[in-house]
Amino acid sequence: MRFSKSAFPRIVCGLLVLAIFALAAHSQAFGASESILWSFGTAANGGAPLGGLISDTAGNLYGTTFSGGTNDLLPDGTVFELTPPSTSGGNWSESVLWSFNGTDGSEPVAGLIMDKGGNLYGTTTEGGAHASEGTVFELTPPSTSGGGWTESILWSFGVTATDGRYPFGGLISDSAGNLYGTTQQGGVHNVGTVFKLIPPSTSGGNWAESILWSFAGIGIDGAAPEAGLIMDSSGNLYGTTVEGGGLW
């Protein structure tokens, strides 16, 4: 079950309405207030941020937008940074760190994770080298002030007939730097997977993928996972599927 582009605005608007009502209720009860840090309004700046945010130690915020960017007639989404004002009462500013172009990924839905070196990792639901079935990417910060960020495609889904396809959820990592996530389709039964990406043992090498689980569908186990995973201290993974299970 994949969402079309036209479905996302309805979903986003619905969530926004719920959020506004919730905010109003809490404001009346607890005196809460809201500040708009940034309004997405131009195609180049990104649009439809569906994923959550992360922050660094300086208070900068990082996220993705499903659409927007600068690369083609149908913009494929962005990775952005919001920088807090340097003085009290000032305005936040946005920097588009990366605009996807389809070949290197398209339409990110989930948020990002960051490692100790400030590198960002995420997924795109489409794009990549194999029939536009999604990617896992890394963005590396510039080595000199004012330079541009660099993107590396760690994995393009669809490399084999049973590989995962269309990762909607975000990533998690372990202490060894392995990345874990889900795909909404693909796998042995084409109803989704749980995957692991293993970093290269030598600098400049290729990442390797391992499919940890292929879902089998309704009446057997889950199907169509769209969220990410969590991991406990023993390395067990937990997640959800949109469909499947023992009940029709």
For residue 184, give every residue at least 6 positions away whose Cβ sits within 8 Å of its Cβ, in sequence order, or none: 1, 2, 125, 165, 166, 167, 168, 192, 224, 225, 226, 242
Q: Residue 165: how many CA atoms within 13 Å on its side-chain side?
A: 19
Residue % of the chain over a pLDDT of 90: 74
The pTM score is 0.87
Reply yes or no on whether the pLDDT at 22 is more than 90. no
pLDDT of residue 20: 43
pLDDT of residue 19: 44
What phi, psi does 21 have (nearest 5°)? -60, -40
pLDDT digits (tens, 9 = 90+) for 76-121: 999 999 999 999 889 999 999 999 999 999 999 999 999 999 999 9
Name the β-bridge partners of 186: 164
Mean pLDDT of 166-172: 98
